[in-house]
Amino acid sequence: MLKLFLPSEHVKSIFNIDPQELKKKGIKGVITDLDNTLVEWDRPTATPDLIKWFDNMRDHGILVTIVSNNNENRVRSFSDPLHIPFIHQARKPMSRAFHKARKAMGLKLEETVVIGDQLLTDVLGGNRGGFHTILVVPVAQTDEFRTKINRYFERKIMAFFKRKGMIKWEDHN
């Protein structure tokens, strides 16, 4: 059961995910969380560096869809100016929204990765759906109230994985 919380990979940030490396692995699409994965949870728009990252993905033929538990206004106001498709109120860790995003991109399961900053929503949902999952370090040190509760449990799960030798990276919280 706990293995469902174990990401396939862990990287420091979204900027450590290279489209050429994804392509070598046969990846054609990225499903990514929004808040604290791409930008701080309270930042309304993309940073210039993030815009470059999206452009780089596009230039390499990698499709991107944002899947967020946040409300439509938050996700639309972030995604629309970037012309990035999105699913709001995704109900993660349920995997339905991940499969909906994958199907909308016209991709197979093995051609798609799920990226996020939370074990209890992004990684669990991606793993439940059979996706390759990539955990990133949250971009902000602060969280919404709900997420603070998740972080407490994440620290416990990560400590367990570390004790059991199941993770090889440094602490991310």
pLDDT in tens, 77-101: 999 999 999 999 999 999 999 999 9
Number of domains in the chain: 1
Residue 171: inside a domain: no
Residue 150 lies in a domain: yes
User: pLDDT tens digits for 16-43?
Assistant: 999 999 999 999 999 999 999 999 988 9
pLDDT at 173 over 60: no
19 Cβ contact partners less than 8 Å away, ≥ 6 residues apart: 56, 57, 59, 60, 61, 62
pLDDT above 50 for 172? no
Is residue 52 situated within a structural domain? yes
Predicted TM-score (pTM) of the model is: 0.89
In a domain, 12, yes or no: yes
For residue 18, what is the domain's CATH number? Answer: 3.40.50.1000
Report CA dihedral (149, 152, 157, 161) to the nearest 10 degrees. Answer: 150
CB atoms within 10 A of CB 10: 19
Q: What is the pLDDT of residue 142?
A: 62
Q: Which domain holds residue 125?
A: 2-163
Using a pLDDT cut of 90, give the percent of the chain over it. 74
The half-sphere exposure of 161 on its side-chain side, counting CA atoms within 13 A, is 22
The two tokens of residue 75 are 């996700």
- CB-based contacts of 16, cutoff 8 Å, min separation 6: 136
